[in-house]
Structure 1
Amino acid sequence: MLFKVEMTVNPPSHLSEEEFNAIKLKEKNYAEELQREGIWVHLWRVAGLYANVSIFEVRDNQHLHDVLMALPLYPYMNVSVTPLCQHPSSIK
């Protein structure tokens, strides 16, 4: 199943820069692992924002939920999920 996921990060004010950087490093490592596994199919930065638009390919809704909840930055994110399906005019 394909999903478009829009994520906006709201950096916490209660963490030090070092603590937040440690969380961002964990996030980067997890995102790279998911990309290598073919789960995080596309990842685009939204220009001018601490945000991204991503495409995930997962088994089902629960799988996506588990993947997103495991993101180290998840507690500091606003997330919007849109299910996708193939367009009848797509040649792929």
Structure 2
Amino acid sequence: MLFQVRMDVHLPVDMPAEVANDIKAREKAYSQDLQRCGKWRHIWRVVGEYANYSIFEVESNAELHDILCGLPLFPYMKISVTPLCRHPSSIRDDDI
């Protein structure tokens, strides 16, 4: 199953820099592990915002939920999820 996920991050302005940097480092490692194993297929930054659009390929809604809840930045995010399916006009063989 493919999902488009928008993640908007809202760290508290009074969060100590060392705490924020630790969370961001753990987030990067977690997301890169998911990218390496193929679950997190794409990630794009939204210009001028602390936000991204990502494409996930997972087995179920529950798996995506677990992945998103496991993000170190999850408590500071607004997340919106859109399920996707292959368009009949697509010429890409790797579309699901």
Range into which the TM-score falls when normalised by the shorter chain: over 0.9
Partners in 2 of 1:91 and 1:47 — Cα distance? 28
| Deviation, structure 1 residue 14 | 4.2
Letter matched to residue 67 of structure 2: V
Counterpart of 2:25 in 1: which secondary structure?
helix
Q: Where do 5+ consecutive residues of structure 1 fail to align?
A: none
In the alignment, structure 1 residue 38 sits paired with structure 2 residue 38: yes
Paired position in structure 1 for 2:51: 51
| Deviation, structure 1 residue 91 | 1.2
Normalized against structure 2, the TM-score is what?
0.93
Partners in 1 of 2:80 and 2:48 — Cα distance? 18
| Deviation, structure 1 residue 57 | 0.3
Normalized against structure 1, the TM-score is what?
0.97
Paired position in structure 1 for 2:62: 62
Letter matched to residue 89 of structure 1: S
Letter matched to residue 25 of structure 2: L
Partners in 1 of 2:4 and 2:32 — Cα distance? 18
Partners in 2 of 1:86 and 1:43 — Cα distance? 19
Partners in 1 of 2:48 and 2:14 — Cα distance? 23
Q: Where do 5+ consecutive residues of structure 2 fail to align?
A: none
CA RMSD, Structure 1 to Structure 2 (Å): 0.7
Q: Which runs of 4+ in 1 moved over 2 A?
A: none
